[in-house]
Chain A
Amino acid sequence: MIKISLCLFLVSVPFFAIICSAFSEDRPTDRRVLVLLDDFAIKSSHSIFFKSLETRGFDLDFKLADDPKLALQRYGQYLYDAIVLFAPTIDRFGGSVDAASLLEFVDSGHDLILAADTSASDLIREIAVECGVDFDEDPTAMVIDHTNHAVSETEGHHTLIANDDFVNSEVILGSRKIEAPVLFKGIGHSINPSSSLVTKVLSASPAAYSANPKSKLSSPPTLIGSAISLVSVVQARNNARILISGSLTVFSDRFFRSGVQKAGSTTKHEKCGNEQFFVELSKWVFHERGHLKAVNVRHNKVGETDEPSMYRIKDDLEYSVEVYEWSGSSWEPYVAGDMQVQFYMMSPYVLKTLSSNEKGLYYTSFKIPDVYGVFQFKVEYQRLGYTALSLSKQIPVRPFRHNEYERFIPAALPYYGASFSMMSGFFVFTLVYLYTK
């Protein structure tokens, strides 16, 4: 009987997975992806990229960006989990969609892949700016690199760049090293200095600059060197992920298939790094990698199991939290040695590194300091590429009760002696005084 039900359960798991295919807390990988295009030609010219998404189980819904029936929501529910915006020239979205609603889509926890290009419209720029990224304001400007360009017969302006200046993060770019340089041809962007959430995934070489390749430089370019980012990712505070690329062409089949030889280098790669780079990047953006969750935050006094509503100063307590990483299909224990918990009231009073049991459980124990107040257990775990874990749990710490102090202390023996001798002395004196003539 148990076997049968187990079988049923096992059979039903994938079924449920299909039903509950939408993005959720438990299954953070996106499922339904809206692809907005300038024209349907892009669907075929970028088919490798789309194919890789479809093979990974995404439902792609191709729409023209100015489709008048375009809608992100129905009955207050989002219809999609992610948007791929491959429409760099669009001035106005169709239907009810505008920049604000697109950003709201991101702010409600959904992902976005945004590709601009040389003639990027104001709308695309506006969305990018809202994500903390500023494209070069000159609409004709392109990133030019006279030292790191790709060897090419047709391209004389050195705007086709072969770049391998990747961000050093296995989480974002996958564990397999990208051997070949990535070909890039498009506009550069800079990161707004006040934004702390943007990461340059592919930055330009120090020799690069952004200018109009067809005209002479009349003034020094504003964007120069490694301040130029070619491809950036943003992980928003609600863990929505955004990919911003200064070029749409980099996703194209032509680039994906192209070989590359960096100028000044003799090695010629049969295949450039674009496919691997962007496919891995899309895995990260669509939460197939680097997504953490923390569950079962628990704390209790040593020797007890229930979570108290209040601690007392100098109590010994245990704190534990379980952290898992989403592998794309299941939750795996997350193993790291650098997770710390703070016992915090305006400043951390206790800061301890959590021990791990390698199965996702992190735990520690410590003594509460001799300070009362409203404390918080804080875990602030921010690692590049990973979901930012920010756990805080409020707990008041009270001082001793009146009957929790030591009743007799040895240091006070003289005082005890004094009071008792005074009492007996008074008694004796009373007797003497009353009964002697």
Chain B
Amino acid sequence: MLFQLIQSTLPGKEKPGFDNLYFFVKKKQGVQTERRVIVVVGGTKIVVRGGKLVAVGICIPVEVISSLQNPNSLTVEIPNSDPIHQIRPMVAAKMEKSAADLPASPGLSSVLKSLKLKTKQQELLIRVSVLFLVYVLAFITRLFSILRYESMIHEFDPYFNYRVTQFLTQNGFYEFWNWFDYESWYPLGRIVGGTLYPGLMVTAAFIFWTLRFLRFAVHIREVCVLTAPFFAANTTIVAYFFGKELWDSGAGLVAAVLIAICPGYISRSVAGSYDNEGVAIFALLLTFYLFVKAVNTGSLAWALASAFGYFYMVSAWGGYVFIINLIPLYVLVLLITGRYSMRLYVAYNCMYVLGMLLAMQIRFVGFQHVQSGEHMAAMGVFFLIQFLPSHQYSRPTISRFYVVIIKAILTSSYLVQVFNFLDWVKYLLDDPKKFHTFLRFTVTSAVGLGAVALGVGTASGYISPWTGRFYSLLDPTYAKDHIPIIASVSEHQPTAWSSFMFDFHILLFLFPAGLYFCFKRLSDATIFIVMYGLTSMYFAGVMVRLILVATPAVCLISAIAVSATVKNLTQLVRSKSKPAPAGSSKGASNTKASSKGSLEQSMPFGRNGAIALLLGALYLLSRYVIHCTWVTSEAYSSPSIVLAARGAHGQRVIFDDYREAYFWLRQNTPPEAKVMSWWDYGYQITAMGNRTVIVDNNTWNNTHIATVGRAMSSYEDEAYEIIKSLDVDYVLVVFGGVTGYSSDDINKFLWMVRIGGGVFPVIKEPDYLVNGEYRVDKGGAPKMLNCLMYKLCYYRFGELTTEYGKPPGYDRARGVEIGNKDIKLEHLEEAFTTSNWIVRIYKVKPPNNRW
């Protein structure tokens, strides 16, 4: 059953209190025989028959009989006994309010108006100040790390971003764009400009240049440190507008507050966490908001804005693939559920075509939108919606022909013209049966053709297959079996329940409730957020780091739950205290009051129950705030480059070994020295130590990493050959046996074995295990106790007493006494060990002079 849109809003007059008001006319064979009017209010359709409401419910086509002559004088009478109405009192109230507005008597209305305006202003004031406070809160809650430690860059990847940003601000954009970095991935080098998402760096540099222009003499480091909190604060504003678009401004405010302090988001956006995700979540949410706005309004301008939001997202983070797959999926769902509209058509086409063209400007992405398997869904949906017959324009005489051409131009594709040709054919063919046959034939052959094209493209290599990362998202066990380098990263592990609880707290329970509310008031927008929420929750379950992507959806959906519940409850509470609030600020009317009355009859203890529930909600929300603050300050504000521990007397002990080691490298090694370490520390060594590294965190060359893994897991003389072939001068290992720091190289060692063994089968994992058990004590495997990594970590460790009452050589990270205390190094010599032994640097000796 096809509906054709004739008018998108009420003609003339100011918009009534509806969210949307659409008129649909059912069409039969080109002649308007039957008309029906469906008023869409916030996702719920209210069917009006002869000026009377006959049905309220989720969009199910209802046979409608009569016509509506004058839409301006729409009045709706809602019978009290209507059971559906009882379920949705709010909608009805809104309906009534606007209906009452239109024919209101002049005297009463002027009084109301003055009152209303004032309230509106007050409300605006409250809203703006709440939003402002949330904005500030979102920023300052992320400053714990600066207060606890100092203004510094955190972790691993941010150091690369920082180094690149420094380069950008010093050498300008074109140098950055063409930067060939020969200090990393020696001897292969890395084209930095073409292998990164430049959005973050350009953003920070832009902020830096702006501040400089305004004569604020800031250092680029400060800008980088504060970029993530700044964008997190901006995200709250976007969340507000998104919530408003989805539900109402109350939900928007709640969403802003929830997302401002949600640990799932804070984990990646504290001050110093200068990583792509910091700006990408802002861009993600902005794109989604603008797209939903475009779908709701059908406006080209919003669609264009969302394309630019998409462009920013693509420039900032590889997670844009989520957008380019979620949006087509959403379009498909709308198509299947019969919600396809011209608004959707405009929004999607504009967003896809422009977004794709813009995204191609990012060097790292390039032609992936037309060449890679991950982007094919969007293209398929794009072609698919060109099939669907276009709808009437206001000028029916020549418009059909133009629509075809508009579509062709919009899509910039000659191929698509063939599909749009259908419309024209349909226009020419009078007999619908003929047309349907023709359509079926064309659609079938086109789908077949598309499948063949996809198959040929994939087989010929023009369309690249899905990447390993993408596979591992769809199948959580894929990476473990096939790509150890992805599986080895802790943030790529499947998420534990505890971390869901840790990152979402009460949102985890509010999320299903919010879904319930969304389904109750289904609209294009709520369908979107439901899909976003469900898909991202799935991905969050697959990989820990993707909790981040799910966080905005969870916050928004939970905000809907909180807002709707609290609103309903307060209305319940207030209706009792004011039995007949006629003409109140909320615009309650007799109808509403009576609806409340009817509700009350069904819930005799409604008011007390409502108060109790309200208090409960308040308690829960305050627990959420406490939890979030605690998590932020305790768990997520540690820079991980400086470690903190509690000493014996409860005082804070700082281990600043990493920076000590990198500073030593910078000061004491020749400038062209090459440092070999496991790839985790590559970015830090180049950024802080300013020395060439063999592998780093940009894990683009598996063989190179495997070579390092092989060197680390071989005996010393075998490793020496590899080390010499890579021109390595220094070897750096991270060791936690003295401090009890558990994420050190010995604990990562099995991954080195696995990754090395994946490329070089001489390295076999069972050689390092005893009965499937990984041990470093006397019972350890002989190869384990003599491999290079073991030797470098435990060199002279056997002489050291780490803990009172334990034998010397007691490894505190693993809680055992090491098995090989007598370690002799032949080709390497200890060059530097930091004060807590966390970082140990060895110099590679030149070959023996006389042999």
Contact = CB atoms under 8 A, between A and B. Distances in A.
Interface of A: 103, 106-107, 130-132, 192, 194-197, 234, 236-238, 240, 242, 310, 345-346, 372-375, 394, 396, 398-399, 401-402, 422, 425-426, 429, 433, 436
Nearest to A109: B849
25 contacts: A103-B850, A106-B850, A131-B850, A132-B850, A132-B851, A196-B851, A197-B851, A236-B849, A237-B847, A237-B850, A238-B849, A310-B180, A310-B182, A345-B188, A372-B189, A372-B191, A373-B189, A374-B189, A375-B187, A396-B189, A398-B189, A399-B191, A422-B409, A426-B409, A433-B402
B725 A346 contact: yes
Nearest to A194: B851
Contacts of A106: 849-850
A372 B851 CA distance: 35
Nearest to A103: B850
A373 B188 contact: yes
Given A107-B849, A194-B851, A372-B180, A422 B189 contact: no
Given A130-B850, A402-B177, 7 more contacts: A132-B851, A236-B850, A237-B848, A237-B849, A373-B188, A398-B182, A425-B409
Interface in B148-182: 174, 177-178, 180, 182
Contacts of B177: 402
A195 B178 contact: no
Nearest to A104: B849
Contacts of A131: 850
A294 B596 CA distance: 99
A428 to B, nearest CB: 11
Interface in B368-411: 398, 402, 405, 409
A107 B182 contact: no
A192 B850 CA distance: 11
A240 B849 contact: yes
Interface of B: 174, 177-178, 180, 182, 186-189, 191, 398, 402, 405, 409, 412, 672, 692, 725, 846-851
B849 A398 contact: no
A375 B851 CA distance: 28
Contact of B850 (A234, A399, A402): A234
Nearest to A394: B672
**Most chain A CB neighbours (cut-off 10 Å) among B398, B672, B849, B851:** B849
B409 A396 contact: no
A95 B779 CA distance: 49
A200 B287 CA distance: 78
Given A345-B187, A346-B187, A399 B180 contact: yes
Contacts of A345: 187-188
Nearest to A392: B727
B187 A374 contact: yes
Contacts of B846: 237
Contacts of B188: 345, 373-374
Contact of A373 (B187, B692, B848, B849): B187
Contacts of B847: 237
A426 B409 CA distance: 7
B665 to A, nearest CB: 18
Contacts of B850: 103, 106-107, 130-132, 195, 197, 234, 236-237, 242
Contact of A401 (B178, B182, B187, B412): B178
Contacts of A402: 174, 177-178
Contacts of B187: 345-346, 373-375
A103 B187 CA distance: 35
A433 B399 CA distance: 10
Contacts, number: 69
A242 to B, nearest CB: 8
Contact of B412 (A234, A236, A422): A422
Contacts of B182: 310, 373-374, 396, 398
Contacts of B851: 132, 192, 194-197
A132 B847 CA distance: 14
A373 B187 CA distance: 6
Contacts of B178: 398, 401-402
Contacts of B672: 394
Q: Which 3 A-B pairs have the closest CB atoms?
A: A398-B180, A396-B182, A374-B187
A103 to B, nearest CB: 7
Contacts of A401: 178
A105 to B, nearest CB: 12
A374 B174 CA distance: 22
Contacts of A194: 851
Contacts of A375: 187
Given A237-B847, A402-B177, A429 B409 contact: yes
A402 B177 CA distance: 8
Contacts of B412: 422
B649 to A, nearest CB: 49
Nearest to B412: A422
Contacts of B402: 433
Contacts of A234: 850
A274 B228 CA distance: 82
A377 to B, nearest CB: 13
Contacts of B725: 346
A374 B186 contact: yes
B260 to A, nearest CB: 40
A132 B405 CA distance: 86
Contacts of A242: 850
A136 B850 CA distance: 20
Nearest to A430: B409
A372 B187 CA distance: 9
B10 to A, nearest CB: 28
A8 B642 CA distance: 66
A240 B850 CA distance: 9
Nearest to A133: B850
**Most chain A CB neighbours (cut-off 10 Å) among B177, B187, B405, B850:** B850
A399 B192 CA distance: 11
Contacts of A346: 187, 725
Contact of B405 (A192, A372, A422, A429): A429
**Most chain A CB neighbours (cut-off 10 Å) among B189, B846, B847, B851:** B851
Contacts of B849: 106-107, 236-238, 240
A399 B177 CA distance: 12
A130 B692 CA distance: 35
A346 B409 CA distance: 51
A349 to B, nearest CB: 11
B322 to A, nearest CB: 29
Nearest to A433: B402
Contacts of A398: 178, 180, 182, 189
A111 to B, nearest CB: 12
B191 to A, nearest CB: 6
Contacts of A240: 849
A424 to B, nearest CB: 12
Contacts of A399: 180, 191
A420 B783 CA distance: 67
Nearest to A371: B188
A106 B848 CA distance: 12
Contacts of A310: 180, 182
Nearest to B180: A398
Given A196-B851, A238-B849, A396 B405 contact: no
A196 B849 CA distance: 11
B707 to A, nearest CB: 10
A132 B180 CA distance: 45
Contacts of B174: 402
Nearest to B395: A437
B781 to A, nearest CB: 28
A315 to B, nearest CB: 14
B721 to A, nearest CB: 13
Nearest to A107: B849
